[in-house]
Amino acid sequence: QGVGDGAPASLAADAGEATPPPPLRTQTRTRADGSKLVIGYIYNLYKYDPHGGAQPLPPGITNAAELLEEEIGPLLKNYDVVIQAFIPPSAFDGKAINDTSGHLAQWRDGVNGKPGLKQLCALAGIPLMVSIGGGGAPKFVSATPGPLVEALYQFVTANGYAGIDIDEENTVDTDTYVDFMLALSARFKGQHRAETAAAAAASRATAG
């Protein structure tokens, strides 16, 4: 298991690291052959969308789709894997998922429009994972993880994500967290999809 704010389990990060500003963050991991696997987080794009925080866009950029195409698209060549973040756990109540395009009623950040982050990654030949949670997300691991595990499985497979990152930073119950991760791993068994996790705020409880 790994610890750190927003960092997948396979990546090194400091437990006390603060969440950086959007929209991009990277981490590196040394491979056995000495090379680096570079992971790029593309996140909080909703802040640039009128449905979100309506944060001012960079000069010359008029919408989130252009932000992806002109600002983020050229950077994709620098990464081996991209993680789309963050989708709140509350989106998986069975009602907020509108269709299989990846658009969530509670996460309207524009990345699903043309060209879309998914399309950009596909064109660049880069695997795209999805991260659930985030530092500001409420605790979502329950004693009965089955429904959430199934909802996550259906969402990931329907949208063709290469894997899932569980960024649960507010978990304090080690047993339920471990049960949830084991159930998730079992559900994805044989799918050839990556599964990573982070638990910064409760690193001692979950990783200890």
List the one residue out of 208, 129, 201 whose CA is nearest residue 172: 201
User: What is the model's pLDDT at position 55?
Assistant: 58
Q: How many CB atoms lie within 10 A of CB 70?
A: 12
Is the pLDDT reported for residue 4 higher than 50? no
Contact 41, 26 (CB under 8 A): yes
In terms of average pLDDT, the best of 51-60, 66-75, 169-178 is 66-75
Between 99 and 94, whose confidence is greater? 94
pTM of the prediction? Answer: 0.66
Rounded CA Rg of the chain: 16
| Distance of alpha carbon 122 from alpha carbon 143, whole angstroms | 37
In terms of average pLDDT, the best of 35-39, 99-103, 104-108, 122-126 is 122-126
Domains annotated on the chain, with CATH: 24-207 (3.20.20.80)
Instruction: Find the farthest-apart pair of alpha carbons in the chain and give their distance in angstroms, rounded.
Output: 50
189 pLDDT band (50/70/90 cuts)? Answer: very high
The 10s digit of each residue's pLDDT in 105-136 is 334 443 443 346 777 888 888 898 988 877 66
- Over range 139-164, report the average pLDDT: 80
- Over range 172-197, report the average pLDDT: 85
Between 167 and 111, whose confidence is greater? 167
- 3-class SS string, 53-66: CCCCCCCCCCCHHH
